[in-house]
Amino acid sequence: MSTGGIPDKARAILAQRRQYAQITADRHMKEINDKIPEIARLKAELADTGSELVRTVLANPHNIEAAVGSLKDKSLALQEKIKELLIKNGYPEDYLKEKYFCPYCDDTGYVGSRKCACFTRLVKQLSAEEMNRRSPLELCDFQTFRLDYYPDTAGQEGISPRKQMERVYQYCVRYAEGFSLKSASLFLFGGTGLGKTHLSLAIAHAVLDKGYHVIYGSAQDLFRQVEREHFGKDAADKDTLQNLLDCDLLVLDDLGAEFESGYYTACLYNIVNSRINAQRPTIISSNLDSEQIQQRYPERIVSRLLAVYQSLRFMGKDIRQLKAAGQ
Ligand SMILES: Nc1ncnc2c1ncn2[C@@H]1O[C@H](COP(=O)(O)OP(=O)(O)OP(=O)(O)O)[C@@H](O)[C@H]1O
Ligand SMILES: [Mg+2]
Ligand SMILES: [Zn+2]
Q: Which atom of ligand 1 is nearest to the CA of 169?
A: 1
How many A from CA of 135 to the centre of ligand 1?
A: 11
pLDDT in 10s for each residue of the chain, 327 residues: 344 477 788 899 999 999 999 999 999 999 999 999 999 999 999 999 888 888 888 887 777 787 788 888 889 999 999 999 999 999 999 999 999 999 999 999 999 989 899 998 888 778 777 665 654 445 788 999 999 999 999 888 889 999 999 999 999 999 999 999 999 999 999 999 999 999 999 999 899 888 888 888 889 988 988 888 888 765 556 678 888 998 899 999 999 999 999 999 999 999 999 999 999 999 999 999 889 999 999 999 999 988 899 999 999 999 988 888 887
According to the model, what pLDDT value does residue 233 have? Answer: 65
How many A from CA of 3 to the centre of ligand 1?
A: 21
Pocket test for ligand 1, best of 163, 165, 194 (most atoms within 8 A of CB): 194
How many A from CA of 81 to the centre of ligand 1?
A: 66
Residue with the smallest CA separation from ligand 1 atom 12 is 320
Pocket test for ligand 1, best of 140, 198, 218, 285 (most atoms within 8 A of CB): 198
How many A from CA of 114 to the centre of ligand 1?
A: 40
Burial class for 34, CB neighbours closer than 10 Å (0-12, 13-18, 19+): exposed
**CB-defined site of ligand 1, < 6 Å:** 135, 138, 140, 144-146, 149, 192-198, 254, 287, 319-320, 323
DSSP E strands, the chain: 110-111, 114-115, 186-189, 214-218, 249-255, 282-286, 310-313
Write the CATH number of the domain with boundaries 134-324.
3.40.50.300
How many A from CA of 286 to the centre of ligand 1?
A: 13
Residues 6 or more apart in contact with residue 245 via CB below 8 angstroms: 270, 271, 274, 275, 278, 280
Q: Which residues surround ligand 2, an ion (CB under 5 A)?
A: 197
Distance CA 14, CA 81 (A): 33
The number of the ligand nearest the C-alpha atom of 314 reads 1
According to the model, what pLDDT value does residue 235 have? Answer: 56
The number of the ligand nearest the C-alpha atom of 193 reads 1
Q: Which atom of ligand 1 is nearest to the CA of 287?
A: 25
109 and 11 Cβ atoms separated by less than 8 Å:
yes
According to the model, what pLDDT value does residue 2 have? Answer: 40
Q: Which atom of ligand 1 is nearest to the CA of 254?
A: 27
According to the model, what pLDDT value does residue 135 have? Answer: 46
Question: Nearest Cα to 165, choosing from 324, 327, 317, 321?
Answer: 317
List, in sequence order, the alpha helices (H) in 178-298.
196-209, 219-231, 240-246, 262-277, 290-296
161 and 315 Cβ atoms separated by less than 8 Å:
yes
Q: Which atom of ligand 1 is nearest to the CA of 199?
A: 18
Distance CA 249, CA 203 (A): 10
How many A from CA of 258 to the centre of ligand 1?
A: 19
How many A from CA of 24 to the centre of ligand 1?
A: 47
The number of the ligand nearest the C-alpha atom of 142 reads 1
Instruction: Provide DSSP, 211-239.
Output: T--EEEEEHHHHHHHHHHHHHSS-GGG--
